Structure 1
Amino acid sequence: MTSIEVSAVIPVYNDLPALKVAIPVSIEVLSKVTDSFEILVAEDGSTDGSAEFVRAVEQTDPRIHLLHSDQRLGRGRALNRAFTAAQGTIVCYYDVDLATDMQHLAEVIDAVREGSDIATGSRLLPESDIVRTGGREIASRGYNLLVRTILGSKLYDHQCGFKAFNRARLLPLLEKVDDTHWFWDTEVLVRGARAGYRIREIPVRWRQGPGTTVKRKDVVDMGSAILRLWWGLHVSKD
């Protein structure tokens, strides 16, 4: 049986139009990165036909696998499930809207090949090339400043949906990650850094997707998540 080098995970929730673009683009890009890969679609309770589309693709390409859930797991839990099921020695994931330019996939994978435990795309390094609304920009910079200040992180962007991991190193880390949704990215990076993981931050080209907005509730939830993690790290010592 041929071993798999790279497992790419695409989290999906009612994203059928984007998924129809993301799968062929993923195949094209991954084929240039490695001779051995699989694509896991972590489909989280969609009702728009996403699961049925991936099932049809599975029949024509054995490298494509559907991980379907009838109930909403949340982004973090869906990713945990996919990384556990993955067969690759390197696992990566990226948002289905391909907001981060896929040219960077080779960079994050190569970083792990070269010894990093985690490689993460960054929209906030000087070399990064990003386009998004002023509200999103202010919210992102404010959020990441809070993470750096309160949680002591030395990274700049904790929420970019574009990461690669050494799977053997990632799995033990996931056992400590509590968040099941959007804060998952930040918690993985903060806990990884505290555990001495080698993390490389890579500047990326990123374009805001349609329909992405920041709601007041999102800001409150993220702020609460930062404080919960601080409490867990410094008071309850989890």
Structure 2
Amino acid sequence: MREVEVSAVLPVYNDLLALKTAIPRSLETLEAIAPGRFELIVAEDGSTDGSTEFVRECEAGDPRVRLLHSDERLGRGRALNRAFAGASGSIVCYYDVDLATDMQHLPELVEAIRDGNDIATGSRLLPESVIVRSGGREIASRGYNTLVRTILGSSLCDHQCGFKAFRRDRLLSLLPSVTADHWFWDTEVLVRAQKNGYRIREFPVQWRQGEGTTVRRKDVVEMGSAILRLWWRLHVEKS
């Protein structure tokens, strides 16, 4: 059986076009990082655009690719939980299928865990970060992360960048306390990890906004509500 050090996860929902670029680019980059010792898990979450069939073809042609399909829509957080629980590597990571974060940073992400950190995360909000996105998204992101730092006591700058790696055993011991099942998963994992003394490395990245991404009013309301719910669980329920 092939030894796996690094398990990389691509969360996917109706992302056929992006997959056609992300899978070959991922295999090339991961082979340079952990030659012959990695797997690429596509956590495909109830897609209806042919993503499942495309990944299945890739899997049949390359043993380094694994399809993890769900008939029902799980949401980002639940899909990641399932993928990490089933991963084989001692280091697990994930990144957005549109490759919004430049893949040149993937070696640094993995190396941060090899160096003894429990979690590594890319940041779009450090002074050295280079980002391209609309003014509305920029304002919403900075406002959200300011609230997380102020209300939840985080010391990190960017909680929602879809570019993270973990020491798998440490992540799995943390996940039972994480209740978020969709986009807030990233923030809750980082906040709870800090409260549990995890060693976290945040580093600047080059990042560009994907096509068709917008911030709606209801998204802003849900962001604030999710922060307050987690504060309640941490300080009132003592979970």
Query: Do they superpose with TM above 0.5?
Result: yes
1 CA distance for matches of 2:52 and 2:218?
Answer: 29
Aligned-pair CA distance for 1:2: 3.1
Deviation readout 1:46-90 (Å, 9 max, x if unpaired) = 000000000011110001011101110000000000000000000
Does residue 198 (structure 1) correspond to residue 195 (structure 2)? The answer is no
Q: Which amino acid aligns with 2:53?
A: E
Equivalent pairs, count? 238
Deviation readout 1:15-63 (Å, 9 max, x if unpaired) = 0000111000000100110121000000000000000000011110001
TM-score normalised to the size of structure 1?
0.99
- State the secondary structure of the residue aligned to 2:177: coil
TM-score normalised to the size of structure 2?
0.99
- State the secondary structure of the residue aligned to 1:228: helix
Determine the structure 1 residue equivalent to 2:76. 75
Q: Which amino acid aligns with 1:133?
A: S
Aligned-pair CA distance for 1:101: 0.2
Question: Which structure 2 residues correspond to residues 61-72 of structure 1 after superposition, within 5 A?
Answer: 61-72=62-73
2 CA distance for matches of 1:45 and 1:224?
Answer: 26
Identity between Structure 1 and Structure 2 (%):
74
Deviation readout 1:102-157 (Å, 9 max, x if unpaired) = 01010010000000000000000001000100000000000000000000000000
1 CA distance for matches of 2:226 and 2:205?
Answer: 26
**5+ unaligned residues in a row in structure 2: which ranges?**
none
Determine the structure 2 residue equivalent to 1:117. 118
Question: Which structure 2 residues correspond to residues 174-193 of structure 1 after superposition, within 5 A?
Answer: 174-193=175-194
**5+ unaligned residues in a row in structure 1: which ranges?**
none
Regions of 4+ moved over 6 Å = none
2 CA distance for matches of 1:170 and 1:209?
Answer: 28
2 CA distance for matches of 1:139 and 1:222?
Answer: 10
Determine the structure 1 residue equivalent to 2:151. 150
Deviation readout 1:149-201 (Å, 9 max, x if unpaired) = 00000000000000000001000111110000000000000000000000000
